[in-house]
Amino acid sequence: MIEPTVTMPPERVRRAPVRRPEPPRERVRFPVLAVVFVCAACGLVYELELVALASYLIGDSVTQASVVLSVMVFAMGVGSLLAKRLRCRAAVGFGLVEAGLALIGGCSAMVLYAAFAWLGESRYVLVAFSLAIGVLIGAEIPLLMALIQRGERSGRSGRKASLGEEDDAAGTVADLFAADYVGALVGGLAFPFLLLPWLGQLTGALVTGAVNAVAGGGLVLWVFRRDLTARSRALLVAVNVSVLAVLATATVLVDDFEQAARRAVYGERVRVAVQTGLQEVVLTGDRQEPPDLFLDGRLRVSGQDEYRYHEALVHPAMNGAHARVLIVGGGDGMAAREALRYRGVRSVTVVELDPGVVRLARTDPALATLNGQAFRDPRVRVVHADAFHWLRGATDRLQERYDVVISDLPDPGITPSTKLYSEEFYGLVAQLLTPTGRFAVHAGSVTDRPRTYWTVDSTLRAAGFATRPYSAAGRAPGFAAGPDQSLINKTQPTRRTPITECR
């Protein structure tokens, strides 16, 4: 018996849901590495900005660099641990981290300067910014790794990773760290050679923050937009626009801010404020009175009583043969003025690192009057060079030796000048002196910093000099200008102590 053919209804074929194709890995990896490069450069700029500004405001660059670096590295470890809590929302977390880093890092220099100018204390602000920036920098790489790994897992659709894929993941980590280190190199070089000379400390930090915000926000909002909900996307757009608006407004107002802060630091009588390639030079005072000269926020010349220091520094060393005089430092011209009072002086060589200081001492009417137009004297020759390197080359180049060498340098406690208080430097000076030559050294205050004072004395004796310490009363030099400057002007004169060294 033939069974009738039963026709079954056709089965409905279920089609798999159409999924949006994941972006190719190489298309994701390149922008991620580019942003890591940019963010690393920006992070190092923030770090160097804090070190440079803290050294200028507080002094002792070694201590400030140690504080910033150690606190920031510690905070980076904390940030890496805290980033674990954001792994489930890595995309929005990374966007918010970069926006916060751009705002805090970009405004750090202005806030630090404001704290110094109006509060008189910036150490705690320095530590707070180092902590905040370090935490945010430390969270960057873990969040990016979470984003990349999520994309790779979605591409594998739940299957176990093969050995080759695990090796490729290790390669991704290597690429991220390579981009991070190279970006740090570029940022470290861009700060002293591009940002600082072209934009200055405050504007340079603000521009760096804007670049940071654009790079971080652009990566998340474009490359990882699939990982964002509509609410998260709107949040990131609003936050990044707000950050850029704040940075742009601060950039527009930065000149007015600097003028206001400078008035708070130096008083209302700022006559000249210039940024040379090496330091900030500020001249204060009325045109009818002797000016005060500040270098990087520290008093270098007090117009009212500078003669006490320069006379005490120069005249004892001139007791004897003094035909040829060498002045190390002294770009303000005051030491040269005192040396030129002696008729027997045939030549005065001034070795000054910063041409801007000498230019101001020549052209500013009040300062030129104070130094007696010393740089217009034909017997004066100015050499713009690092004194240590110039002396090293001069020992073989010069035919005649000097009868008198005068070291008119910043306080030995200021780190950049410490090599000019070393035994090696004093040994070079000894080679340039005649057998009866004299060497005068400013050694700081014996009352305020006795350890520094006697260290200079022992260093000179170790170099072969017979020392004769003495002191002179006068206004304290080298203090950092601040809102309490008017109080310092009213205090009793403190002791500024040169040392005369006789062979």
Positions marked active-site: 408
**Measured between alpha carbons, how far is 469 from 383 in angstroms, rounded to an integer?**
29
Tokens for 479?
């203090």
Tokens for 77?
């470890």
* Half-sphere exposure of residue 278: CA atoms within 13 angstroms, side-chain side: 12
Tokens for 127?
């530590």
- Residue pair 448/475 in contact (Cβ under 8 Å)? The answer is no
- Residue pair 297/480 in contact (Cβ under 8 Å)? The answer is yes
DSSP for residue 59: -
**Measured between alpha carbons, how far is 58 from 196 in angstroms, rounded to an integer?**
19
* Half-sphere exposure of residue 159: CA atoms within 13 angstroms, side-chain side: 7
β-strand partners of 149: none
**Measured between alpha carbons, how far is 464 from 458 in angstroms, rounded to an integer?**
10
DSSP 3-state assignment of 233? Answer: helix
Q: Where are the beta strands (DSSP E) in 222-265?
A: none
Tokens for 147?
């984003």
- Residue pair 76/165 in contact (Cβ under 8 Å)? The answer is no
Per DSSP, helices labelled H in 278-386 are 306-314, 334-339, 355-363, 365-370
Tokens for 359?
């230019």
- Residue pair 122/58 in contact (Cβ under 8 Å)? The answer is yes
β-strand partners of 467: 501
Nearest to 312 by CA among 447, 173, 440: 440
Strands of the sheet with 380-384, listed across from one edge: 380-384, 347-352, 324-329, 402-408, 433-442, 498-502, 466-469
CA torsion sign, 432 to 438 to 442 to 443? positive
DSSP 3-state assignment of 468? Answer: strand
Nearest to 55 by CA among 109, 118, 111: 109
> With helix as H, strand as E and coil as C, how does 404-448 read?
EEEEECCCCCCHHHHHHHCHHHHHHHHHHEEEEEEEEEECCCCCC
